[in-house]
Structures are given as structure tokens and as C-alpha cells.
Amino acid sequence: MTVGQPPPDPVETRLDRLRGRAIPVNHDARTIAALAANPGCVRRALMDAAGVRKQDIAAHVGLPAPFGMSVFARTRGTAFEALVKENSASLLLALLREHIGLDVASAHYHDLNLVGAGESTPLWHARTRQQLLGADPRTHTMFDHPLLRLKVGGRYAYLEPDLLALHHEGRWYVVEVKSFAIIDGRADPEKVAAAAIQSAVYVHALRDLLGVDANLVHHETILVAPENFASTPAAARLDVRKQLGVIGRQLARIASIEHLLGNYPDDLTFDLDPGPDGRPRRPPGELRDAIETVVANYAPDCLATCDLCFVCRDESRSQGDTGVLGKSVREDLGGIESVHQALGLARGALAPAPEREEVSRKLRHAAAIWDEITTAAGPA
């Protein structure tokens, strides 16, 4: 097995130049999931392919994003995971027996983290591989702490999932433990969506590892989360086929990054020009120009997933981009790119092109209703 850098090629050199002198960031399931959240964003695709440390860039232009999990959320997450997995995942086993009909004899438990975190990750990955592909499938039930990996933009990203791989009736399942509550059979849709896309990253990586037949890894994953207001775990199945498609496309897009690179000048770089003390010396205005050379696709959802979100929001606002108002508004305004243009059409100050006749009529109608309401409410 070879691990490490592929031989340098022109694309790799371009990506290195984009990143500058910074150390490339490592992807994890969260960042790979975020890639798939906004597939239309070239800015993000380029920066992620080059391994640019986006939070440093955002901080240097003065618009850092306040990211990270709160200490409380992290502690709760860790405690719940420990509860589900304690005594070799006995609670989880009970849940799986009830939920997917695991038979009583299937109670094997392998801990793949014998090497221990902090030691060699390739070694840990090798052990995962060796055990999952191991000779005797009769001893396969639960595998705790598998270390998976995915190739993102020419580099391997190691995924250290808080999950178990489960072998049942000849197929593999990804089991992910999350600490948000399932209340009355329902959970926060945003959190479920985030969990689904993360699980999809693991399914993708597990399929990559097992290699043979993609169907061996089930497209349904098992989400384990606390039920109602207690910490009793409950299980639910998540179908992640759609997310798998998005991730596959996005990873392929990063792999064929040379097409995107072709649209931008050769000397484009996001280098911070660090001084001897490690402090960035590049003028923030110049860096900002470099960032804005590459097209972004800002939507309010970015605020939850991307370190550059405040930079892109600021840019979108100053340009009057309709994306600032959210994806649904942008779609309703089909083809109208700026808020200024939309207002002009609504007030009749701009003459609509024939293909915008329909949307202009809607806008004028909306403006009329708005005027009625404001005049009625105004003087009274």
C-alpha cells in the first residue's frame, strides 16, 4: 500500500501555488460533507482541492467565522457515545437486535483501535482493512473505531469516525452515533441532514476500502441518537443514496480540478506571506482581490458549513446579489442576478427583456401589494 504524495504534476504545482506556504489542511468527514453542501461553489472547490486553510484567510481579511462546537455540546456528545459503546457496545447490540433483527449468535465485537489514536494512522488504516477483509466472516459483527480514508484532491484524508461498521446478512452498514435528540420520532431536520451527509462520506469511504462490490455496503445507514429527553439510545435508518451521489460528483470534480484551474490566472495565490514570526504580511486588500477573482456561490446555508461564509456574504451584499436572500428567493427570481435589477423591474424603472416578462409581472404585482400595505399602515 502506498501512502503519501503522488509525483508532482502541473495541477499539483498550481494547487501548491494557490495554497502558498501554508501547510495543507486535512479533510475530515465534516469538511468533505461541507463540500457536498454547496456543489456550485467554485471558490470552495478550488480552496479545498488546494488544502487552503480557509479560517486563516477569512481572519486575515477581517471576517473570521465563529466556528467550532461548544464545550457543552462536545461533552454531551462524548458522554452519549461512551454510554452507547460501554461494555463493548452492549446497549447498541440490544438496539440492533431489535431494529435490524440481528440474531443472538451475532455478537462479535472487534476494537480496531488497538494501535491507539495518536500513533501511526496508516497503520491503523491497515489494521482496519485487514480486519474488515479478514478471512472468517463468521466472526464479523461489530467493528468499533475503524479508520477509513478518502482521496481528496490528490491527498488522502483519514476519517476517524465515531462509528461502527456492522456486518449483517452479508452486507455492511455504517452505524453513526449522534447526540441530538430524537423527540417523538422526529429530530431537527438540519441536524439529520448533516448526519446523513456525514454518514454518506463514511459509506463512500467504506466502499472504497472494501473495493469489490459497491452494493456490499448498504446505502441505508443506522443513526443512533438519544430518545426524547433521556439518554436512552434509539436507532433510525437513513437512506443516503442522494448524498452519496452528490459526494461522488463533488469528489470527481475536485479530482478533475484542472478544468476549473484553467479559468484563472496562473499566478493566482491565497498565500498569506507569513513573516519570520509566522504573522501574515500580505496586504488584506490584495488577498481579498485574489479571493474575489474566483466565483463563489453564496447562500445563507453557507453560514453553517464554510469558514469563508462572512467574506462571501459581505461580497454578495455589496454587489446586491440575490443569493443573499436565500436559495428559494434566488430561484423565484429566476435569471435576475441583482437585487438592484429586481427592484428596478418591480418599479417599472427598467424595461424587461422578453424572457423576463413573466417574472417582471410578478414583481410589479408584489410591489403594488407592498405599496397598498405601506400606504394603509403609514398615516393611520
CB of 1 to another protein, least distance (A): 7
Is 224 within 8 Å of 96 (Cβ atoms)?
Answer: no
328/331 Cα distance (integer angstroms): 5
CB of 180 to another protein, least distance (A): 22
378/363 Cα distance (integer angstroms): 22
82/182 Cα distance (integer angstroms): 18
337/345 Cα distance (integer angstroms): 12
CB of 228 to another protein, least distance (A): 16
Q: Name the residue nearer to another protein (CB basis): 117 or 304.
A: 117
298/278 Cα distance (integer angstroms): 31
CB of 57 to another protein, least distance (A): 36
Q: Name the residue nearer to another protein (CB basis): 127 or 330.
A: 127
Q: Name the residue nearer to another protein (CB basis): 89 or 272.
A: 89
Q: Name the residue nearer to another protein (CB basis): 126 or 236.
A: 126
Q: Name the residue nearer to another protein (CB basis): 139 or 256.
A: 139
CB of 109 to another protein, least distance (A): 5
Crossing angle (nearest 10°) for helices 241-255 and 189-210: 60
CB of 125 to another protein, least distance (A): 8
Of the CA atoms within 13 Å of residue 341, those in its CB half-sphere come to 16
CB of 151 to another protein, least distance (A): 18
CB of 130 to another protein, least distance (A): 5
Q: Name the residue nearer to another protein (CB basis): 110 or 313.
A: 110
3-state SS, one letter per residue, for 43-110: HHHHHHHHCCCHHHHHHHCCCCCCCCCCHHHHHHHHHHHHHHHHHHHHHHHHHHHHHHCCCCCCCCEE
Q: Name the residue nearer to another protein (CB basis): 88 or 319.
A: 88
Of the CA atoms within 13 Å of residue 31, those in its CB half-sphere come to 25
260/215 Cα distance (integer angstroms): 32
Interface positions with another protein (CB under 8 A): 1, 86-88, 90-91, 93-94, 97, 104-105, 107-111, 113-116, 119-120, 122-123, 126-127, 130, 139, 141
Closest CA to 247 of 282, 290, 197: 197
Q: Name the residue nearer to another protein (CB basis): 136 or 355.
A: 136
CB of 335 to another protein, least distance (A): 55
CA angle (231 as vertex; 228, 237 as ends), nearest 5: 65
Closest CA to 33 of 172, 255, 204, 189: 204
Q: Name the residue nearer to another protein (CB basis): 59 or 126.
A: 126
**Hey, which residues does 268 pair with through a beta bridge?**
none
Closest CA to 131 of 159, 161, 103, 165: 165
